[in-house]
Amino acid sequence: MFRTLLPLVFAVGFAAPAALAHGDDVIRAAAAGLNAGAVYVHPEAVPSLDEGEAERLRAAIDDAGGRIFVAVLPADALHEARTPEAVLTKVARAVGREGTYAVVVGGGFRAGSSRRDLPAGQAGALARAAYRAHRDEGVGSTLTDFVRRVGEARGLGGGSASAAPSSRGAGGERDGPGIGLGVVGAIGAALVGLFAFRRRRERSRQLAEVKEAAEEDLVALGSGIRELDLDVELPGADSAAKEDYARALSAYERASSSFSRARRPEQLEGVSAAVEEGRFAIASARARLAGEPPPERTPPCFFDPRHGPSARQVEWAPPGGQLRLVPACAADALRLEEGEEPHAREVLVGGSRVPYWNAGPAYGPWAGGFFGGVTGTLLPALLLGSVLGSGLGLGFPGGAYGGGYGDSGGDGPGGDFDGDGDLGGGDFDSGGSGGGDFGGGDFGGGDMGGGDF
């Protein structure tokens, strides 16, 4: 059975569970639709918009100056993103254009704006106001009123092109200061765009490098599982070893699923955590098949977690760092005792290979997964008082994780979608009409209105 299942796991690659993949498909379809037009209505959405309502909504968006993106989605989108707020953020980041976004997903209505469209929190407030005024009239009326309110807010703040001050005076002559401000604004926008492009390119490079390390771990884990394949099916093979083998296979499947869903380095922590579990299961199975007791469940070797469970603690200090006790495999412990360097795991940084603890904040979550996560106690204890803390960016003085690569803003439009915005709105019920209560909640520090039609 296991020999049949393992090739299947490798054949499907890093496929996510069906429900999660379908949720991603809904969001991808919404992003593609919104890049083609201002309104996207999924055919399975409930509540929904008819074609007449969608056309009126498109006309209202044109009247409001454009740059408003509205998606009406089925509840399947919540399989991956879990909450309407998260769906809204995922859609906005997938589209990647400046503007105001609104989603109705499974009846939940939420809205937010990029940092250059409306002030933080204003889109959410406008969504709540539109919901309160029109919840008894359904989704179409609520969304149309929301778009109208966005247009009015832009007019008061000069946010839309139609509301921008004229570059000509009353007599038709050009206003010199206005032109100067326009030039300055254009230069500023170009610089911001250049910075954003470079930032996205750098993050893409870092993600590719960390994913390469994670993929190496997956390949090694899969190879270890295949090496056990025949042994666990031999007559008289230890039943506990077969259970260890099954656990290793399950860990591989989880790691593969996490890998396929990862879009940012911090999402790779689940890969390394599952890989570590799978490696221990393989070590346990090998011991049982050899007639030996399984190893104690210890942290993996600090120098290279691929070495498997550690054998003992050893004193070690990086160049210029302090001595500290770290878990090491028997081979690396012996090397240190003989005055040699341990065999360190090296990863890519800017095209060059360096020990993983010097690789910078992008590798922090991936490394933390082997030792209980970046917020656990083991890895910080290993790094406390050393340059390793800043190297991995795990919150030590000079560390960057959580301040640089750890920000949740991603590469999308930012603003309300950076994790501290007010994504207000309301909750329509599945029938699209009726009463209900108006609730609330918190998301990234924001106040989120809600309610049921």
Indicate the number of domains in the chain.
Answer: 2
| 38 and 147 share one domain | yes
Residue 180: exposure state from Cβ atoms within 10 A (0-12, 13-18, ≥19): exposed
The one-digit pLDDT tens for each residue of the chain (453 residues) are 444 444 433 333 333 333 334 556 888 888 888 988 899 999 888 888 998 899 999 999 989 888 999 999 988 888 766 788 888 988 998 888 888 999 998 778 999 988 778 888 888 889 999 999 988 888 999 999 999 999 999 884 333 333 333 333 333 444 445 555 566 556 665 665 666 667 777 778 889 999 999 999 999 999 999 999 889 988 889 999 999 999 999 999 999 999 998 888 888 989 999 999 999 999 999 999 999 999 989 999 999 999 988 999 999 887 767 788 899 999 999 999 999 999 999 999 888 899 988 888 888 889 888 987 544 445 555 554 443 444 444 333 333 222 222 333 333 444 555 544 445 555 544 333 332 222 222 223 333 333 333
32, HSE (Cβ side, Cα atoms, 13 Å):
7
Q: Is residue 44 part of a domain?
A: yes
Q: Are 167 and 161 in contact (CB under 8 A)?
A: no
Strand partners, 73: 105
Would you call the peptide bond into 119 cis, given omega within 30 degrees of 0 as the criterion? no
Matching residue, tokens 């190496």 = 216
Q: Are 49 and 144 in a shared domain?
A: yes
Residues 23 and 121 in one domain: yes
Task: Note the pLDDT of residue 77.
Answer: 84
Q: In terms of residue numbers, what domain contains 329?
A: 302-409
Residue 113 belongs to some domain of the structure: yes
Q: Which two tokens stand for residue 429?
A: 């019920």
Please answer whether residues 321 and 302 qualify as being in contact, where contact means their C-beta atoms are separated by less than 8 angstroms: no
Q: Tell me the backbone φ, ψ of residue 104, rounded to 5 degrees.
A: -115, 110
The neighbour count for residue 3, using CB atoms within 10 Å, is 11
What does the pLDDT read at residue 107? Answer: 77
Q: Is residue 323 part of a domain?
A: yes
Q: Which helix (H) or strand (E) holds 35?
A: helix 18-36
Measure the N-to-C terminal CA separation of the chain; round to a whole number of Å. 51
30 and 133 belong to one structural domain: yes
Residue found by looking up tokens 């019920």 in the block:
429
**C-alpha separations of 193 from 174, 188, 424 in Å:** 28, 8, 28
- Asked whether residue 347 is assigned to any structural domain, the reply reads yes
Report residue 198 as tokens: 């470079």
How far is residue 157's CA from residue 163's CA, in Å, rounded to a whole number?
Answer: 8
Residue 173 lies in a domain: no
Four-residue CA torsion sign, 297, 301, 306, 308:
negative
DSSP H or E segment with residue 241: helix 239-261
Q: Does any domain span residue 154? A: yes
Q: Are residues 380 and 421 in the same domain?
A: no
Q: Are 321 and 371 in the same domain?
A: yes
CA-CA distance, 392 to 366, in Å (whole number)? 10
Give the list of residues 6+ apart from residue 450 with CB closer than 8 angstroms, or none.
108, 425, 426, 427, 438, 439, 440, 441
Asked if residue 150 and residue 31 are part of one domain, the reply reads yes
One domain, residues 427 and 311: no
- Residue 339 domain flag: yes
Other beta carbons within 10 Å of 426:
27
How far is residue 312's CA from residue 348's CA, in Å, rounded to a whole number?
A: 28
Cα 150 to chain centroid distance, Å, stands at 28
Q: Answer yes or no: is 235 within a domain.
A: no
Q: Which of 417, 437, 429 is nearest to 116 (CA)?
A: 417
**297-to-277, 293, 330 alpha-carbon distances in Å:** 10, 12, 15
The Cβ of residue 95 has, within 10 Å, a number of other Cβ atoms equal to 21
Numbers of helices and strands, H then E, in the chain = 14, 11
CATH number for the domain spanning 37: value is 3.10.310.50
| 147: β partners | none
Rounded to whole angstroms, the Cα distance separating 386 from 294 reads 34
Residues 322 and 428 in one domain: no
Query: Is 21 in the same domain as 149?
Result: yes
Clarify whether residues 64 and 22 are in a common domain: yes
For residue 56, give the nearest of 145, 153, 149 by alpha carbon: 145
Q: Are 404 and 419 contained in the same domain? A: no
Cα(249)–Cα(260) distance, rounded to whole angstroms?
17
Alpha carbons 18 and 12: distance in angstroms, whole number? 12
**What six digits make up the tokens of 111?**
């809205």
- Residue 139 class from Cβ within 10 Å (0-12 exposed, 13-18 middle, 19+ buried)? buried
The answer to whether residues 407 and 418 touch, using CB atoms and an 8 Å cutoff, is yes
The DSSP secondary-structure symbol of 236 reads: T
Task: Say if residues 278 and 225 touch (Cβ distance below 8 Å).
Answer: yes
User: Could you tell me which of 49, 78, 113, 80 has the C-alpha nearest to residue 414?
Assistant: 113
Residues 48 and 44: their CA atoms lie apart, in Å, by 8
Phi and psi at 16, nearest 5°, equal: -85, 165
